[in-house]
Structure 1
């Protein structure tokens, strides 16, 4: 096989691989700006029945990209110590300034036994860890976010109080 005969074969192979490469590029994750950071400031009970609790979750939203963001709506789901605590949504639009922060109130609903379950879990584990995740809706886009932290750890508190320094 001479060199001229091999060229069309290589071109055909290259042309056959182009659509696959284009699909792979589309499937790659979009490397956009980082989503806003969200943390829980407070959870306030607003109503409780045997089967459902209502809460007002006060969340701190921090813009990290330095561009600012107009938020049209926001969803939030909270877990405490790995168990579902509640979920909710706010449709109140707000402006998140560049490198700024905003406190946002999100009405939430959860199981009526959720708090009892959480108190039992805290007693067994000796700590209270939280996780919040959801989606910001901004100009027709959905921007997922998640955050987590520890409110307190009995082990850390005891360790710190027993150390002489």
Structure 2
């Protein structure tokens, strides 16, 4: 390998490393569940469209190629979701996205039964990652809250 080729390779690797370091200083986005709506389902599989609100506490915009997440209700796994829709959240701004999740009939009935017996509120936890953030890395997020049945 020639010296100038080696220098180019080192420069390229240094640039990639520095661009990756730029995402490590970012604060995690705040993600909250805004709405749950039933979607087309079958007897064995229930589908729901979730609306998620992403708030960016950073002074730079967040751009991701999608996200993946797990939804738990009352501490028990209920559904998983992925989305390949582009996500753009302005610096110190917020954005809403819709994602579809799938769950089994048994899981849904179990959670619905708990909500009906209780006060109609579902405590949820979201854990996931913004994927391909700024074209380089992933950024995890987690949140929890309460959603009241309509």
Q: TM-score band, normalised by the shorter chain?
A: 0.7 to 0.9
Q: In the TM superposition, what are the counterparts of 1:94-105 in structure 2 within 5 Å? A: 94-105=87-98
Provide the aligned C-alpha RMSD in A.
2.0
The structural deviation recorded for 1:131 is: 0.7
What SS class does the counterpart of residue 35 from structure 1 fall into? coil
1:83 maps onto 2:76 in alignment: yes
Stretches of structure 2 that go unaligned for 5 or more consecutive residues are: 1-22
Could you tell me whether the CA contact under 8 Å between 1:48 and 1:112 is conserved in 2?
A: no
Name whichever structure is richer in helix by fraction.
1
Q: In the TM superposition, what are the counterparts of 1:1-165 in structure 2 within 5 Å? A: 32-126=25-119, 127-137=121-131, 138=133, 139-152=135-148
The structural deviation recorded for 1:77 is: 1.4
The structural deviation recorded for 1:113 is: 2.0
Stretches of structure 1 that go unaligned for 5 or more consecutive residues are: 1-29, 153-165
Larger radius of gyration: 1
The structural deviation recorded for 1:33 is: 2.2
State the aligned residue count.
124
TM-score (norm 2): 0.74
What SS class does the counterpart of residue 65 from structure 1 fall into? coil
Could you tell me whether the CA contact under 8 Å between 1:76 and 1:106 is conserved in 2?
A: no
The structural deviation recorded for 1:144 is: 0.7
C-alpha distance in 1 between matches for 2:116 and 2:48: 22
Once superposed, which parts of structure 1, at least 4 consecutive aligned residues long, lie more than 6 Å away?
A: none
The 1:88/1:46 distance shift into structure 2, 3 A limit, reads same
Could you tell me whether the CA contact under 8 Å between 1:73 and 1:89 is conserved in 2?
A: yes
The structural deviation recorded for 1:124 is: 4.8
Q: Deviations over 1:53-93 (max 9, x none)?
A: 11111100000112111111111211111122211111011
C-alpha distance in 2 between matches for 1:123 and 1:54: 20
